[in-house]
Amino acid sequence: MSANQSSTEVTLSNNGPYGTMSDGRQVDSFTFKNKNGMEVTVLTLGGTIAQLLVPDNKGQFDDVTLGFDNLEGYAGPTNRFFGCIAGRYANRIGGGTFSIDGVTYNTPKNNGENTLHGGKEGFNKKVWDAKTDNNRLILSYVSADGEEGFPGQVTTHMTYQLTNDNEIIISYECTTTKPTPINLTNHSYFNLAIKDKVVPPIYDHKVCINAERYTPVNEALITTGELSLVEGTVFDLSTPTHLSLDRLDEVPGGGYDHNFCIRGPTGRRHAARIEHETTGRVLDVFTNQPGMQFYTGNFLGGFPGKSRANYSKHTGFCTEPQVFPDSPNKSNFPDSILRPGSTYKHEIVFKFSVTA
């Protein structure tokens, strides 16, 4: 894989205003297009991937990511983090509290007794500054010290690229003025079976996750601190496995919403492969992070999305590379604390292809 593609073959267009937030902030959109006809549209609101056009095995292009037709949807209460960045801390922080160097911090409890995806107004709800550089889209945001209860002023740069190998490359870089937890990811919901804007359940997808361990959770979906083997359990997705309704019903909670510990040496690793046999579409996920949350849309609940499609339970899946959930409260988990003088670096690659 390489981002060294000819600038004449991958184009990036500034589409201008997409809409205006209730407080007057303007949201813009940008569209990438490569030589294969693949298109990706990104909003400055939360770095949201709002459209993702990829071909099937007959050459038909469909938008395979869930979302809305307008800004009101993305900014409104029915948005389930469609396509956006999740942060400062993606996933859950148990009890909405953590300690660093003996100092305790409290963050908003927006998911029962827990903090989810950065709190009540995380990075997904921010309008980011945008600039383009050699067909890269660079979005930037400065999070104030104390925002959502997190310490330190954090400066984040989020870069999007599209290659002629049908890869979306998302890179994150953060610096901070105080020690603070950082865990960023992309929260796109994919459905490789979408055709002519019809969104069926994901039951005929196959998934393979490069993990021999996962992190079990309690009833509140907070990790217990264990690193359990997947072998012999419903969490064994190490070989291609159909996401049938029967399979998802076997998982506590009616589907996957669990972090898998990605195998391999430090650096970019193959995290997952998801396939849909009928359309021939394939998604491969790569990351330099130690974990990946796999979520099967268990909490989607019957509201209209794009083209009035009904997004009900199990109509999309998320592959969210990350550190392990609740790492600030689990001493045996990977360290998620960013300190002054260091730089957080995270790269995600979503690579699309087609089988015959």
Alpha helices in the chain (DSSP H): 71-75, 245-250
Report residues of the chain scoring pLDDT below 50. Answer: 1-7
Domain contains 4: no
Determine if residue 91 is labeled as part of a ligand binding site: yes
Domain contains 212: yes
Phi, psi of 28 (to 5 degrees): -105, 165
- Give the residue numbers marked as catalytic: 187, 320
pLDDT at residue 172, as a whole number:
98
What's the number of CA atoms in the CB half-sphere (13 Å) around residue 250?
9
Domain contains 168: yes
Q: What is the CATH number of the domain that holds 167?
A: 2.70.98.10
Domain contains 83: yes
Full 3-state SS string of 66-106 = CCCCCHHHHHCCCCCCCCCEECCECCEEHHHEEEECCEEEE
Determine if residue 141 is labeled as part of a ligand binding site: no
* DSSP-assigned beta bridge partners for residue 157: 140, 173
Domain contains 3: no
- Beta carbons of 195 and 280 less than 8 angstroms apart: no
Please give the full DSSP string across 181-244, using - where no structure is assigned. Answer: E-B-EE---B-TT-BTTB---STTEEEEE-EEEEE-B-TTS-B-S--EE-TTSTT--SS-EE--
- The tally of domains found in the chain comes to 1
Burial of 348: CB neighbours in 10 Å, binned 0-12, 13-18, 19+: buried
Q: List all residues 6 or more positions away from 236 whose beta carbon is below 8 Å from its beta carbon.
A: 230
Domain contains 35: yes
Q: What letter would DSSP give residue 23?
A: T
Determine if residue 331 is labeled as part of a ligand binding site: no
Determine if residue 236 is labeled as part of a ligand binding site: no
Handedness of CA 148, 151, 152, 157 (dihedral sign): negative
What amino acid is encoded at 7 in this protein? S
Domain that holds residue 87: 11-354
**What does the longest C-alpha to C-alpha distance in the chain come to?**
59
pLDDT tens readout for residues 104-122: 999 999 999 999 999 999 9
Of 58, 61, 38, nearest to 278 by C-alpha is 58
Domain contains 182: yes
CA–CA distances in Å: residue 182 to residues 19, 150, 152, 200: 29, 10, 11, 35
pLDDT at residue 142, as a whole number:
98
Domain contains 1: no
